[in-house]
Amino acid sequence: MFLPPGFNQHAIVTTLGTMVYYTADATPWTETDRDSLPTLVFLHGFGGGSSAYEWSKVYPAFASDYRILAPDLIGWGRSDHPERQYQVEDYITTIIEFLEQTCDSAVPVVASSLTAAIVIRAAIARPELFQSLILTTPAGLSDFSEDYTRSFFAQLVSTPVLDRLLYSTGIATSWGIRNFLEQRQFAQPDRIFPEIVEAYLESAQQPNAEYAALSFVRGDLSFDLSLYISQLTVPATMLWGKRSQFTGPDIGRRLAALNPQAIRKLYVLDDVGLTPQLELPAVTIALIRRSLTLLK
């Protein structure tokens, strides 16, 4: 496992199974009365081997001031991996269940990529659970009527038997993980350190990990966020890597323009891909701090 010092694993039970999460409850964080701190939640995005590790270079910077909760979403990391074809509603439901079981009041939530888009829908459904949203590259992948499921790769992995073969030989390997990170997530390959590949590989090789990953790659979880974002009432900021593949900052600008009352600020980061929290964690920390102040 790849956990920052002082963070340990806990779990809750959702309607789809056990969801593991990580929080600071050991040295050096025990000098603080953890129960008196406000809560800050970090939700990872989707991809080959995604997990709460995605935020592990960022959330320790907030552990002195916040009670940090960073789950592995259902189907990912060390949480349960039900054998199912995952749908958006599965994640709206289990994210809401997680907040209901771990938080006593509305909390700020930091979320990434497609999960961030799903969090917007969860916040529309249950706004009382969310104090604010800080979202990195929140895109539904089929935004403004673009149909991701028609892409060549989505069609390829929709082929029975071939999909499992592609996962085991092309995704859940060190080469496959590195290739995915280079092509999909990072602007600069030299920022992909061996630990990142190892952490993603560990998650990708969990039993039944292919179910959630293939649902994502097939496009089962994709939707048009532009149809929903105008309904958001929870205040939010967006962080967008200028070199994010498939979902560039122009999509972010168009989404933000649909609801300027809720989307308070869009930060576009040069020379960054889909996950600034892994490429430039210090910059991401600074912008999250700024956003937390802005959205109070």
Would you say 137 and 118 are in contact if contact means Cβ atoms under 8 Å apart? no
Bond before 60 cis per omega within 30 degrees? no
113 vs 136: CA distance, rounded Å: 6
Which numeric CATH code is attached to 7-294?
3.40.50.1820
Q: What is the C-alpha to C-alpha distance for residues 226 and 255, in angstroms, rounded to an integer?
A: 6
Give start and end residues of each alpha helix (H) in 138-280. 152-156, 162-166, 174-180, 194-204, 209-218, 249-257, 276-279
Instruction: Give the tokens for residue 97.
Output: 């269940």
Residue 20's beta-bridge partner residues? Answer: 11
If you compute the radius of gyration of the chain from its CA atoms, what whole number of angstroms results? 18
As a whole number, mean pLDDT of residues 145-151 equals: 71
pLDDT tier at 153 (50, 70, 90 boundaries)?
low
Q: pLDDT tens digits, residue range 16-54?
A: 999 999 999 998 998 777 778 999 999 999 988 999 999
pLDDT attached to residue 31:
75
Structure tokens at 139: 């895109």
Q: Which of 23-27, 31-35, 95-99, 150-154 has the lowest mean pLDDT?
A: 150-154
DSSP calls for 83-117:
SS---HHHHHHHHHHHHHHH-SS-EEEEEEHHHHH
What Å distances lie between residue 198 and 127, 192, 205, CA to CA? 37, 11, 11
Quote the CA–CA distance of 28 and 187 in Å, as a whole number.
34
Structure tokens of 61?
Answer: 């910077």
CB 7 within 8 A of CB 60: yes
Q: How far apart are the C-alpha atoms of 271 and 264, rounded to whole Å?
A: 23
CB atoms within 10 A of CB 26: 11
pLDDT on residue 213: 92
The answer to whether 186 and 17 are in contact (CB under 8 A) is: no
- Show the tokens assigned to 140: 């539904």
If you ran DSSP here, which 8-state letter would residue 44 be given? -
CA angle 38, 39, 43 (to 5 degrees): 160
As given in the structure block, the two tokens for residue 235 are: 């205040």
Q: What is the pTM of this model?
A: 0.95
Calculate ∠ Cα 242-245-250, nearest 5°.
50
Which of the two residues, 75 and 146, has the higher pLDDT score?
75
Domain ranges of the chain: 7-294
Overall average pLDDT of the 245-273 stretch: 94
With cut-offs at 50, 70 and 90, classify the pLDDT of residue 183: confident
Inter-CA distances, 98 with 27, 51, 76, 227, Å: 25, 15, 15, 25
CA 233 to chain centre: 21
